[in-house]
Structure 1
């Protein structure tokens, strides 16, 4: 039976609501703290993230520590029923450290060491930086590890980037020696015989560089893996320092830039996943595409631990760093915040609480504007959201069950984007994944986003778009998944390379060939202005019919036991298979040999859902741009109806009994969603 997850902190059993708070920027104005406490209580916020970039305020000179200001803040919190995620300040180091110990500064790919400045401009391999980080983290833990107001550790801030200094080069070589054992194994894995790149000594190996080696794909892939591992090692170093004083306090680190790191690995060493979401709302009149994009990311971060996550940063109004910093329209603050909750967040946090008076984010949105009072639209929006979060507090800790998973791996992503292949102007891996996810979002079907190393058995349907990097082990797992009755959907550009980024021999899609029942002979990239089309046969299990346009990629495949569902209509491969299904054991494996557009994916996944009986959050047809998401505690279901269309919409409920969670109103069959509207409705869970 599904049960609730325990709260992240027993001190806040319901939703966390708050912001990044930087009292260290206001030490010259002591009255600010008292006013901020008043405004926090007035807004209904209950937790702040403190000290994220406060190293200089904590240690103004080497070895001289200043904690009195932080004592005042945390004591004031404790006296007023407020709480803090206490941050380690390693995201930016003091100027005195950079001057005295230049080795702490990061070296770029051009092998030039940076000057002091910015954030995450430091080397994770530097013994000095590690020592100084351990000291300041240890001091914080010793002083505040048992403080009444502290509910957990916020480790650094948005880890990202890489260093190419000699310390990191040596660590990279050691990492490679541990992985490969011998140069012979490394040379074979990287295929260094191409262009006479064979290494004869470990010292010859360096990280990829624009003025050196950058075209060995196995080399590039291993460097990205190393950067992830090095960052995780540094994060673990930070965690050990704070956990030493109080091992019961949970730790998190806020994630944001999925380019840099394999977050699935980082998630393994923290207690709760948190991430920072900054959508560019209202670029179009209809926000549904952007809404589905951020739904995917919420699903991704929830799936990293398959339990509730935290929205650690969002913006209550407008950013200052996007191309256009547009204000949220009425209703969007509530909708976008509760979208995170709908997909599994147990918090809504902002950057920032009070606007910085100067520097690069002085115009970034905040709960408290430069005006310094509560009489603003944004403050009102935040306060009203506090009331909503209190009204729906029973949702906290509930699960998000899913029978469907999308396979998304960082190794695969890095390898695809590095490959010199059929469309170097853009093969659009991320966009393709998002389109497949959107087809379920539109139906209100919950989706997990998983990695190849995870357990496939909880799912009835797995979608793996462009699984370019597919190991023999993953191929076997997917084969067993289908044989045991699962449904698999895959696309072109799958089963091409192994874990070393070496092409599979014997015919693509390599270890997936038996599962899919096809052989991919050739692949063609189309120019942006080019299209093809696919005609579907009517006599197949799904009953799809008609002609649909495809673009960007066309793979020439041969059926080897698979049933042909649709064929190309154009070019010299007209009449050849474009969409197939292979029956294997108790299950089926579908293959799309070309990039289909959204109209096809919508009807295709509707038919798949009907065919295998996927459960929807709401058993009804949703208007385009309206979605439904489900959380449940096993006794009651909580359905979030969300309208991203920019217009008023009406949703027809199914015949179950529903109650509006905010108003306690019993609902009729038709529910009106205002522009940027959201309704959270409750029903008894089906426990059969």
Structure 2
């Protein structure tokens, strides 16, 4: 099976989305000159070019793309060729309004932007497949082609009648009978029992709360329906070019796609990452997304999009200070990226994204952004052979699951302040600040190679997942489980006792009496720390150890953190310092140690292969102690005992003592 290693060929791919159709052809030669100057070796073409290639139904205008493919090849620049099916032309919506998605209330999502397609529409699928077939046939043998990029950021949702029919087919495959569906959905509640398949609809706008399992299944279905569109196009290009790897770009930590399922269908796992330069935890967020994408890829991954400067879709769009683009790009490389790319090459002068930065901004080649892009391109070329294809070793896994995320977000839950992604990020932050390398894993995955497994919060756990956690601990692993986990089964049915008995036995909990969610800006005192968001009224097993108890209030004296041999249960969200201390201590007990001890504040250390990356996320200067004699590959300078890092500084060290 082709892979990113085949496309990279011992390099780090460097470049980005190139949209030359927005510019007169005389600009193209200047683009190539600047690309060569910046060290660009890869560009993505055609992402939003459907109307350019097919200006009217059935027409094909490939001449401009032929010239671009040839131009790139002449100058040694590989092409990630996209199927332009994310943005159907206006003629499709005008002539086939059934291809347009509809909202929960039946309102039409009109053309005039992008992603205006219903994934269940046979007309959309037929036109998308025909265009993909012709594109693949035309460029299958072109020497510039290195990767296929299918569609772009699959994110559409639709509740139309065509989707309803597709949803019913999906449900038939899942449940076989209406009786089984009624049982799974708990339709005895509120007189929701269905008598025939034809009565079933997507969870459209309703008088009050919708059936939670119906909503859960619709989210599962929507992810699968979009994947059907992806697979149809993937299979076409793979038939023409079985040697060329295929990808589609994920949006970061987005709820609409089960990325575990999707990544299994990709040759290359890629993601678009846009941390806010002003966000206090932006560096950790960038690290978390890298860890998650590397885990989905089970190895090197592709940073398909990032911004060289500001974006255009936040309330206030801040530029990246000098050096930050380089720092975050190299942080992604340290955590497994073998491709560093941007949206986009040249900043647009018109359209909705003209204030979204490019590698070449409105300031042109003399602007600060392009100067920094050139520096980064040169450095990636310097370290590419040493780092490309190398693994990032991790001894700690964080469990993450889309079904649990979807189910836990239902309307009628104990607290709407419980944000799944914030909980996951808080646990990753605790381990990141402790210097401990982490991966993400599905709850049902083989966990045996990890010394510690962390479960920030998984409301829904399947029987297989619970059995897997029990077997992991019995096999000698250390588990740290967060609150409100193991509550529901695969049908969002509450487990007897309010928490699965296997999980209670594993974590040393005799009885879970009540969940006690906390109000906003409210904390609870525990032995040794303060906590927020959530608390629980627990009774521990006599043989379990109460590591920390609640102090004050209704839960005074009851367990907050329980230990049962190698399994811990944390029934609240400790403040960041306390969570870092707890997880760091348990990791140390399990034998998982920081990448490098004694780091100054703001310095991150990551091992990739035989290299040690040191990344300074501060604006001052620091001296970092390092073991033995080494060489900084970025500068060629010898390093013995310590390395000095300035503002947003990076060192990539290689040495026998690592």
TM-score (norm 2): 0.96
| Counterpart residue number, 2:646 | 674
| Counterpart residue number, 1:489 | 480
Distance 1:607 1:159 in 2: 40
Residues 519-668 of structure 1: matches in 2 within 5 Å? 519-535=511-527, 547-560=528-541, 561-583=543-565, 588-618=566-596, 620-632=597-609, 637-653=610-626, 655-668=627-640
Q: Secondary structure at the match of 1:387?
A: helix
User: RMSD in angstroms over aligned alpha carbons?
Assistant: 1.7
Is the 1:440–1:605 contact (alpha carbons within 8 Å) kept by the matching residues of 2? yes
Q: Secondary structure at the match of 1:580?
A: strand
Is the 2:548–2:560 contact (alpha carbons within 8 Å) kept by the matching residues of 1? yes
Deviation per CA, 1:157-201: give whole Å up to 9, x if none.
000121111111011011111111222221121111111111111
| Counterpart residue number, 1:220 | 215
| Counterpart residue number, 1:375 | 366
Distance 1:210 1:599 in 2: 43
Distance 1:214 1:87 in 2: 41
- Cα 1:685/1:513, change in 2 over 3 Å: farther
Q: Secondary structure at the match of 2:535?
A: strand
Distance 1:6 1:277 in 2: 21
Deviation per CA, 1:447-470: give whole Å up to 9, x if none.
111111221112111000122101
Q: Secondary structure at the match of 1:228?
A: helix
Is the 1:470–1:511 contact (alpha carbons within 8 Å) kept by the matching residues of 2? no
Number of residue equivalences: 653
Is the 2:3–2:268 contact (alpha carbons within 8 Å) kept by the matching residues of 1? no
Deviation at 1:306, TM superposition (A): 1.1
2:320 paired residue among 294, 309, 328: 328
Is the 2:4–2:300 contact (alpha carbons within 8 Å) kept by the matching residues of 1? no
| Counterpart residue number, 2:189 | 194
**Which 5+ residue runs of structure 2 have no aligned equivalent?**
none
Distance 1:219 1:390 in 2: 51
Distance 2:632 2:408 in 1: 45
Is the 1:469–1:498 contact (alpha carbons within 8 Å) kept by the matching residues of 2? yes
Identify which range, 468-477 or 8-17, moves more after superposition.
8-17
Deviation at 1:624, TM superposition (A): 2.9
Deviation per CA, 1:83-106: give whole Å up to 9, x if none.
110000001011122222222111
Is the 1:388–1:662 contact (alpha carbons within 8 Å) kept by the matching residues of 2? yes
Deviation at 1:214, TM superposition (A): 4.8
Is the 2:430–2:583 contact (alpha carbons within 8 Å) kept by the matching residues of 1? yes
1:59 lines up with 2:86 in the alignment: no
| Counterpart residue number, 1:102 | 97
1:504 lines up with 2:504 in the alignment: no
| Counterpart residue number, 1:542 | none
TM-score (norm 1): 0.92
Identify which range, 655-664 or 351-360, moves more after superposition.
655-664
- Cα 1:461/1:236, change in 2 over 3 Å: same
Deviation at 1:342, TM superposition (A): 1.1
Distance 1:65 1:318 in 2: 36
Distance 1:330 1:516 in 2: 48
Deviation at 1:6, TM superposition (A): 6.8
Is the 2:629–2:641 contact (alpha carbons within 8 Å) kept by the matching residues of 1? no
- Cα 1:102/1:54, change in 2 over 3 Å: same
- Cα 1:421/1:124, change in 2 over 3 Å: closer
Residues 226-305 of structure 1: matches in 2 within 5 Å? 226-256=221-251, 258-283=254-279, 287=280, 289-305=281-297
Deviation at 1:260, TM superposition (A): 1.2
1:353 paired residue among 315, 338, 345: 345
1:150 lines up with 2:142 in the alignment: no
1:443 lines up with 2:434 in the alignment: yes
- Cα 1:10/1:126, change in 2 over 3 Å: closer
